[in-house]
DNA sequence: TTGCTCCTCACGTCACGTGAGGTGGC
DNA sequence: TTGCTCCTCACGTCACGTGAGGTGGC
């Protein structure tokens, strides 16, 4: 019984995978306004369905609903330009997510290797990593030094020895290139 | 004159790079509650600053403010578990962003190569790509076929010839493996 | 008559951004 | 006295999710 030529919001939702609420939302925004039947129910025609497909396609490319509306109507927006901007943003997001992944793996790796560090210690480790990946202002640098001295002052001699041991171990596992790279990265953090 | 031992919201904001509004927000959430001076102004101690650094570090790893609060206080949350979830999510985000990047490049590439396709045509292209990357339900498949036939019926003979020419050109540029892969992908779209 | 689907509010999400309008401290 | 900084509302952002309470159609 597919001889119908209009669909309700629910039917369309089931067909396309979007929720009925999303269709209401597009209606409220003026992005997709179906006609109504006598009872006030939304009635989507084939043309409405086509428009919905375009909306979903453009949405999938990261465009805002407002931008989509401008494109589909007057066309006051330049699709090529919008897509180029999306590409730039997407590339930035990929790069940022990769850095985050690297750091998460690093922290989780230590969590597995070390003898169950406490949450306390883990947070400390994360803090240090975040500091290392942030380009520091002179003020922040001074602050970091101050904090480090504070922390060091609170350690027992045994803890200090352990810290030194771990640091040496980490350095000894590095190749010459890795050591150079680590130095470069450290230097890059300092203000220009 | 760095002999002070408390800071106002503004001073702390400048030192750490967060906005004063964010500090207000953390205060309102109970995440970071500084003491107040006689005039009602927030006064952040060194301990508050340390806590802020931890907040920012954990936030940088993608944790919600609520999760951070639980960690820093009672510690009702398992940091390792949270980080593992973050890693999974991050990996999914990277994969999704890569697929989007690939598709964006594809569309933009055609935009450069072809003789300035209209916005109309570009949207059509995007639609097809989105369809191709979506696993289709039988209903959607029928719908797509119907739409395609509709579109084809509207084309002039010249446009049909042009379409055929482009399709052949695209296929001829493919290696045998690529052609096989394209067929596999097309087959994968069909319902089980 | 009973479900079922649909409808319209209207608040919630998340981490703040952005004024508006007012006050204390140097 | 004049800026400057700080304060507290309170609404806006973005794309809907999630009930609440009610009505038409088979």
Contact B57 A100 (CB under 8 A): no
B121 vs A32, residue with greater confidence: A32
pLDDT, residue A138, reads 47
pLDDT, residue B190, reads 46
Each residue of B27-48: pLDDT tens digit? Answer: 999 999 999 999 999 999 999 9
Chain A residues lying within 8 Å of B86, measured CB to CB: 100, 104
pLDDT, residue B147, reads 60
A15 near B CB under 8 A: yes
Phi then psi for B6, rounded to 5 degrees? -135, 160
B40 near A CB under 8 A: no
Give every CB contact of residue B50 below 8 A, 6+ residues apart in sequence: A147
Position B129 pLDDT exceeds 90: no
B106 vs B153, residue with greater confidence: B106
The position carrying tokens 């309102």 is B28
B8 touches strand D (CB under 7 A): yes
Residues belonging to chain A:
192
Each residue of B156-190: pLDDT tens digit? Answer: 676 677 667 666 666 666 666 556 556 555 554 44
Other Cβ atoms within 10 Å of B164 Cβ, number: 10
Position B142 pLDDT exceeds 90: no
A107 near B CB under 8 A: yes
Mean pLDDT of chain B: 80
Distance CA A124, CA A146 (A): 15
In this prediction, residue A116 has a pLDDT band, given cuts at 50, 70 and 90, of: low
In this prediction, residue A35 has a pLDDT band, given cuts at 50, 70 and 90, of: very high
In three-state secondary structure terms, A47 is helix
Residues of chain B with pLDDT > 70: what percent?
65
* pTM assigned to the model: 0.71
Task: Name which of B54, B57, B126 is nearest A58 (Cβ-Cβ).
Answer: B126
Chain B nearest C-alpha distance from A86 (Å): 8
Residues with CB under 7 A from strand C: A 8-11, 13, 20, 24, 40-42; B 18-19, 21-22, 25, 37-39, 59, 64-66
Within its chain, how far is the Cα of A73 from the centroid?
Answer: 31
> Among the listed ranges A124-133, B81-90, B142-151, which one has the minimum average pLDDT value?
B142-151
Position A158 pLDDT exceeds 70: no
pLDDT, residue B121, reads 76
Position A154 pLDDT exceeds 70: no
pLDDT, residue B1, reads 42
């Amino acid at each position: 019984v597919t001889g119908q030529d209009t669909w309700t919001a629910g039917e369309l939702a089931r067909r396309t995978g979007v929720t009925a609420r999303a269709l209401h939302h597009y209606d409220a925004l003026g992005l997709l306004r179906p006609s109504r039947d006598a009872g006030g129910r939304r009635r989507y025609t084939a043309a409405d369905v086509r428009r919905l497909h375009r909306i979903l396609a453009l949405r999938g490319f990261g465009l805002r609903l407002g931008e989509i509306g401008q494109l589909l109507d007057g066309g006051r927006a330049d699709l090529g330009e919008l897509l180029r901007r999306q590409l730039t943003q997407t590339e930035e997001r990929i790069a940022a997510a990769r850095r985050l992944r690297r750091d998460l793996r690093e922290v989780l790796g230590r969590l597995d290797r070390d003898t169950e560090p406490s949450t306390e210690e883990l947070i400390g480790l994360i803090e240090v990593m975040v500091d290392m990946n942030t380009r520091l202002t002179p003020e922040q640098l001074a602050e970091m030094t101050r904090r480090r001295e504070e922390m060091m002052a609170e350690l027992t001699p045994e803890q200090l020895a352990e810290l030194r041991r771990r640091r040496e171990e980490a350095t000894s596992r590095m190749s010459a290139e890795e050591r150079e790279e680590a130095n470069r990265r450290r230097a890059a953090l300092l203000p220009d």
